[in-house]
């Protein structure tokens, strides 16, 4: 019986020491929450160009910007004056005042004065221009979407909508919401 009680004494001392350590830790640190990580940049690049290639080694798209700032706390990148070009037979250019690039680079949020310019495949057709306030771009898929008002112009034709889905590979743009517009056809008069 004495041996059983003697083995509990070291266990009791360990529990007392653990409780004392916990109490001292709470006393020193207090109950205040820890401060969040600071949102400071770890690197900046001015006047840069990034090229992305597809699996066959062909140039898919290029991102050019005035200034790039990377933040390590959330692994995001802020770009001033971004300009994205998709290199196809008829290139598509996208510009904005600001871009936020996610951690994996699969999504780019283009903000403020976003303009998409799709050049015509044939030399005599005017380019198609799209203007909106914001565009979420998926560059590897060459897709984008916007929930803001959109204006599309081609020559004298103009169409407006309250949202957009665009697919650069297929050349199809789908306007959402209330859509209004004026379309001019290119007629050839026969005598």
CA 177 to chain CA mean position, Å: 23
Token couple for 189: 């008069």
Rounded distance between C-alpha atoms, residue 131 and residue 134, angstroms: 9
Token couple for 6: 């003697």
Token couple for 96: 């904005």
pTM exceeds 0.85, yes or no = no
Rounded distance between C-alpha atoms, residue 96 and residue 74, angstroms: 23
Beta bridge partners of 138: 143
Pairing of strands 180-182, 157-161: antiparallel
Domains of the chain: residue spans and CATH: 43-182 (2.60.450.10)
Instruction: Kindly report, residue by residue over 137-170, the tens digit of the pLDDT.
Output: 999 899 999 999 999 999 899 999 999 999 988 8
Q: Are 116 and 137 in contact (CB under 8 A)?
A: no
Residues whose CB falls within 8 Å of the CB of residue 191, separated by 6 or more in sequence, listed in order: none
Pairing of strands 143-146, 128-138: antiparallel
Instruction: Kindly report, residue by residue over 84-111, the tens digit of the pLDDT.
Output: 999 877 899 999 999 999 888 899 999 9
């Amino acid at each position: 019986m004495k041996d059983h009680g003697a083995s509990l004494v070291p266990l009791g001392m360990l529990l007392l020491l653990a409780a004392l350590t916990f109490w001292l830790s709470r006393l020193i640190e207090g109950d205040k929450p820890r401060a969040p990580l600071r949102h400071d940049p770890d690197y900046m690049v001015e006047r840069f160009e990034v090229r992305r290639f597809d699996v066959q080694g062909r140039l898919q798209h290029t991102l050019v910007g005035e200034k790039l700032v990377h933040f390590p706390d959330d692994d995001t990148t802020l770009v001033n004056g971004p300009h994205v070009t998709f290199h196809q037979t008829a290139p598509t250019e996208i510009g904005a005042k600001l871009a936020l690039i996610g951690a994996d680079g699969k999504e780019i949020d283009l903000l403020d004065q976003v303009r998409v310019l799709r050049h015509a495949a044939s030399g005599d057709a005017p380019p198609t221009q799209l203007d909106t306030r914001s565009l979420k771009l998926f560059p590897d898929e060459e897709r984008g979407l916007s929930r803001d008002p959109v204006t599309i112009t081609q020559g004298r034709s103009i169409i407006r909508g309250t949202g957009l889905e665009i697919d650069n590979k297929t050349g199809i743009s789908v306007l959402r919401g209330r859509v209004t517009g004026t379309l001019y056809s290119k007629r050839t008069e026969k005598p």
